[in-house]
Amino acid sequence: MIPSKINPLPTPLRALFASALLWFPVLSSAAEKTVGNVRAALVAEDLRAPAGGTSWVGVRLTMAPGWHTYWKNPGDSGMATRIRWILPPTVTAGDIHWPAPERIVLPPLVSFGYEKETLLLVPLQIAPGATGPVKLSARVDWLECSDVCVPGRADLELRLNVGPSAQPNPAVADLFARYRNRLPRPPDGWTLEANRSGKSVKVSLQPPTGENISSKAFTFFPEDEDTAEAGAVPAAVLRDGKITVEFLSETKRVQGVLVAADGPDAIVAYSLDLPVTDGPATAPLGWVLLLAFAGGLLLNLMPCVLPVLSLKAFGFLKDAGLDAASRRRQGLLYVAGVVVSFWALAGALLALRAGGQGLGWGFHLQSPRFVLVLIGLFVLLAANLWGFFEVGGRWVGAAAERGRSWGAFGSGVLATVVATPCTAPFMGTAIGVALAQPAPAALAVFTSLALGMAFPYWLLTVVPAAGRWLPRPGPWMNRVKMVLGFFLLATAGWLLWVLYQQSPAAVGPAAALGAALGVAAWAYGQKQRGIRFRWYATTLAAVLAAGAWAWSAAGTGAISSSENGVWEVYTPERVAELEKEGRPYFIDFTAAWCLTCQVNKKTTLEKPETLALFRENNVALLRADWTNRDETIARALAGWGRSGVPLYVLKGRGAPALLPALLTPGLVRDALSKMKEEAS
Amino acid sequence: MNIRSLLSVLLLLVGTASFAAPEIGKPAPAFVLKDTQGKDVSLADYKGKIVVLEWINHGCPFVKKHYGSGNMQKLQKDYTDKGVVWLSIASSAPGKEGYMKADGWNKAIAEKKSAATAVLLDPDGVAGRAYGAKTTPHMFVIDAEGRVAYKGAIDDRPSADPADVPGAKNYVRQALDSVLAGKAVTTPSTTPYGCGVKYK
């Protein structure tokens, strides 16, 4: 910079400018130089740098009071400090490692930089075989500002000894330790989320369990103006054990540094780099309630619920003689049974989530013991359909009415319990939103889901003409009952397979329990018919024994399901790697107990033509198996606004695509070609 | 609190809230400012013309870089010759760096050989805040329909070093050439660099 090139200035600035002339660097070099309001020094961490290794140097900038220099993203104004090296061929300098900056606010402008002092750390790679002292020259350019700005430059020079091993300089150990401590570190073990809500992005960070973050102040520094304008980022706040910050931004990726501070010298900085997902909060509640209702309605058609519902319908046919009032009452009690069960489920889910557990729909199936209970239940239902025994006694009069009422309520509960392994279309979205909402809204969504599920049967009970829509009762009913009984047994068989995934040792005892229950049900039926059966007590004892055996076996350890070689195990790290490579990926969020997932696997995901399509498009296949409880997967699901499986995510270069809950090869093909279009 | 101070607090709040750059393709915010001759100048006066807004502060080393090297004046001359209106806006508050009264500005215009159509005085920072002007220089190009066609830096070399002027890619020149040719601006938005605007 040649001073004579600069034209004279108007009077008030002339004095300032004249003094600025004095600050221009003299063109000689030293390890330390004071220019204007900044002292710049080149400091080596080692007295002797290791040949073939890394040695760190730092550019130490000490600012006069009231002055600051800038971070790599200077914010609304300013300029990042720049270092240009002149080095011997045996030494290569890396990028600047920037310590966490401070917010410098001059309303309405916000800048990011350093007041008082900073040390910009640079790793030097020393070639193997290098010897003797080497000369390091650095030209450092910075902008120093108070309420005015002055550019500064210093040419600094340092001789660094090189030897076979490193010998640190104890005199600067504290300095390097202090600033290395301020370098952003990867947020290992943290759960990071960035969700879009309208025009803003909400970033939330949850520390690893057990880490206390209660007493700190938090600041987010965006890496560049694409992530956020400096003035648009408010202070981050701590809420529900999570650090959150929300700012206006159109970015698809959040990059920057989060600084947690207990004081000016007690800070921890984390480097953040995560994609922004479309948040669940954007859907209006009314729409979600509608989705939930539709999901509940469709749940009736799922293989786990259909047989139970038919059972109910048969009962209805049998009771065709009942008066309208009694029928309506039964209908309402059935609805009540379903709604109350859904509330119980919602309550448990919300309570557990408040306790910090990542759970979703079907969460109880992650417990092998619950699966065991379901197996028993399905066996008994099948036995009932096959006419092994009757439910309820031969009550008369008021007792019969009471019995029917409890029966109606109970069948509502039963229908809900057996429905839980199934997910209907729309349900995933609705429940995902529900669990992200405050409790009243979440309860509303669950209620809507329950009402949707109870709706068809309720309709039968209130429409007087409903009887005419249904076929007349007759012997055909028994044949249908046989078939439906097989359905239920098949479901029990499938649950046995689920149990195998979770706790292989429990499968034998569980099968024994099923058999014993079948025999016991038959024996009970004999007793109901007044036929004497000598081994009645023995069968009951067998049920109890098998039950106890299975119960304890189900408590033992789980195996992880073995997978097809094409599929990699999902980890957030792998996703980050793929993002960095720019390679597209597909995530199959699945679980053995998720029937819809298994169907999709058979019809689509494991089909050779689908796999070939993925291969053609160089799509990495990741499988997130949620058969057993897994916090990482639960959090990943939450990141996509879901709380249950299945979920299918296809991400290319453009926005991620969420595929529907019921897959077809055609759907996958379309999604892939759309992804290709976006990339080109 | 009397009505006047209440009003000024409200105005301050409104002013702070509205500090945001206008979006590309959206109408450029209107303003009326005094020029160095004491005349009111309104953006609406130049309807149908292409307008450049340049935030200026002669105390700022980044502004010095472009005026000291003659880069800014050449840009002003090249395009005012083609009928473009060039308005330099000074949003420095009284007592802050870069603030001058009208006669000081007239002297500076002559000394620097500024070829701007006018220098507008914005000591209250009203226009600066309306445009979200962050730095000096911070550049805006407004097309003949009054829409924002470019906002951001003057070029791609964020430094105060005049030696960086010759090799730089000048975004304002690119934007003006495109707008004059009736084409879309390829880089309509960049991150401005420079000193912070010295607002009140």
ipTM: 0.83
Q: Return averaged pLDDT per consecutive 10 residues of chain A, 680 residues in all.
A: 38 44 41 90 94 94 95 92 94 95 88 95 93 92 90 92 92 94 89 82 83 76 87 79 84 89 81 79 74 88 74 66 77 90 86 63 75 86 82 55 76 82 72 74 89 88 69 74 83 84 80 87 81 75 80 59 67 85 89 79 85 88 84 80 82 81 86 80
Within an 8 Å CB–CB cutoff, is residue A566 touching chain B?
Answer: no
Q: How far is CA A547 from CA A306, A507, A552, B2, in A?
A: 27, 12, 9, 81
Q: Residue A392 phi/psi, 5° resolution?
A: 85, 155
Is the Cβ pair A76, B107 closer than 8 Å? Answer: no
In B64-143, DSSP assigns E strands to: 85-90, 118-121, 135-136, 139-142
The token pair at A459 is 């309709």
Give A90's DSSP letter: T
The whole-angstrom distance between A637's CA and the closest CA on chain B is: 35
Nearest chain B Cα to A3, which residue?
Answer: B68
* Alpha carbons A381 and A398: distance in angstroms, whole number: 27
Residue type, A133: P
Task: Judge whether A212 is closer than 8 Å to chain B, CB to CB.
Answer: no
Which amino acid does the sequence have at A135?
Answer: K
Indicate yes or no: CB of A10 within 8 angstroms of CB of B19.
Answer: no
Residues 6 or more apart whose CB falls under 8 angstroms from that of A17 comprise A6, A9, B59
Are the C-beta atoms of residues A85 and A110 closer than 8 Å to each other? no
Residue A3 — left, alpha, or beta (φ > 0 → left; ψ -120 to 50 → alpha)? alpha
Residue A470: per-residue pLDDT: 65
Query: Which residues of chain B have a CB within 8 Å of the CB of A110?
Result: none
What average pLDDT does this structure show over B77-81? 96
Tally Cβ neighbours within 10 Å of residue A325.
8
Whole-angstrom Cα distance, residue A118 to residue A100?
9
pLDDT for B111: 95
Question: Closest by alpha carbon to A349, among A360, A338, A365?
Answer: A360
DSSP A607: S
Q: Which of A145, A148, A225 best tests the B interface by mutation, with the highest count of B CBs <10 A?
A: A148
pLDDT of residue A321: 63
Give the separation between CA A87 and CA B174, rounded to whole angstroms. Answer: 37
Kindly give the pairing relationship between strand A585-590 and strand A620-625.
parallel
Please count the helices (runs of H) and the strands (runs of E) in chain A: 18, 26
Contact B97 A148 (CB under 8 A): yes
Query: Cβ contacts (< 8 Å) between A143 and chain B: which residues?
Result: 61, 160
Strand partners, A39: A34, A62
* Token output for A475: 């012997």
Question: Which among B72, B157, B195, B197 is the top mutation candidate for probing chain A, defined by the most A β-carbons within 10 Å of its own β-carbon?
Answer: B195
Whether pLDDT at B16 is above 50: no
* Residues of B contacting chain A (CB within 8 angstroms): 15-16, 19, 58-62, 64, 67-69, 96-100, 104, 107-108, 111-112, 129, 134-135, 158-163, 191-199
Please indicate whether, in this complex, the C-beta atoms of B162 and A151 are within 8 angstroms of each other: no
Cβ(A456)–Cβ(A300) below 8 Å: yes
Q: What is the pLDDT of residue B1?
A: 38
Cβ–Cβ contact A320 with B under 8 A: no
Alpha-carbon distance of B183 to A358, in angstroms, equals 53
Residue A173 touches partner B, C-beta closer than 8 Å: no
Would an 8 Å CB–CB cutoff place A518 in contact with chain B? no
Chain centroid to CA B127: how far?
A: 9
Cβ distance A454 to A339 under 8 Å? Answer: yes
Cβ(B51)–Cβ(B43) below 8 Å: yes
Calculate how close chain A gets to B185, using CA atoms only, in Å: 19
Distance of CA B2 to the CA centre of its chain: 36
Q: What is the pLDDT of residues B164-195, one digit of tens each?
A: 999 999 999 999 999 999 999 999 999 999 99
Pick from B98, B160, B162: which is nearest to A5 by CB?
Answer: B162
DSSP symbols for A497-530:
HHHHHH-GGGHHHHHHHHHHHHHHHHHHHHHHTT
Distance (Å) from the C-alpha of residue A13 to the closest C-alpha of chain B?
6
Token duo for residue A557: 């350890």
Question: Which residue do the tokens 């034998």 mark?
Answer: A508
- A 228-257 residues with CB below 8 A of B? 231
Chain B contact for A11, CB < 8 A?
yes
Structure tokens at A263: 């004081």
| Residue-level pLDDT at B73 | 97
* Spatial contact of B109 and B56, defined as CB atoms under 8 Å apart: no
Question: Is the CB of residue B53 less than 8 Å from the CB of residue B33?
Answer: no
Residues of A in contact with B59 (CB under 8 A): 9, 13, 16-17, 148
Residue in chain B closest to A82 (alpha carbons) equals B159
Give pLDDT, residue A145. 92
Two structure tokens written together for A311: 């059972």
pLDDT at residue B49, rounded to an integer: 95
| pLDDT at position A495 | 84
Q: What number is the average pLDDT over the span B3-31?
A: 61
Q: What chain A residue is nearest to B58 in terms of C-alpha separation? A: A9
Percent of chain B with pLDDT over 90: 84
In this complex, which of A13, A74, A224 lies closest to B59 when CB atoms are compared?
Answer: A13
Q: What is chain B's alpha carbon radius of gyration, rounded to the nearest angstrom?
A: 16
Count chain A–chain B contacts defined by CB atoms under 8 A: 92
The predicted structure's pLDDT at residue B43:
94
Helix (H, G, I), strand (E, B) or coil at A29: coil
Residues in chain B within 8 Å Cβ distance of A80: 158
Cβ within 8 Å, pair B197-A77: yes
One-character DSSP codes across A225-279: TTT--GGG---BEEETTEEEEEEE---SEEEEEEEEESSSS-EEEEEEEEEPEEP
Question: What pLDDT does A5 receive?
Answer: 36
Q: Verify whether the Cβ–Cβ distance B61 to A151 is below 8 Å.
A: yes
pLDDT attached to residue A392: 54
Q: Does A410 touch chain B (CB under 8 A)?
A: no
Residues in contact with A629: Cβ distance below 8 Å, sequence separation at least 6, in sequence order = A359, A363, A366
* Residue A205 near residue A257 (C-beta atoms within 8 A): no
* Residue A164: partners with Cβ closer than 8 Å, 6 or more residues away: A50, A51
Q: CA-to-CA distance for A572 and A622, rounded, in angstroms? A: 10
Contact between A97 and A83 (Cβ < 8 Å): no
Q: Which residues of A touch B108 (CB under 8 A)?
A: 10
Q: Is the peptide bond before A164 cis (omega within 30 degrees of 0)?
A: no
Interchain pair B195, A7: CB under 8 A: no
A110 CB within 8 Å of a chain B CB: no
Domains and CATH numbers, chain B: 21-196 (3.40.30.10)
Name the packing angle between helices A324-354 and A427-436 (round to 10°).
60
Q: What is the pTM of this model?
A: 0.54
At residue A16, the pLDDT reads 46
Q: Taking CB atoms and an 8 Å limit, are B134 and A147 in contact across chains? A: no
d(CA A467, CA A460): 8
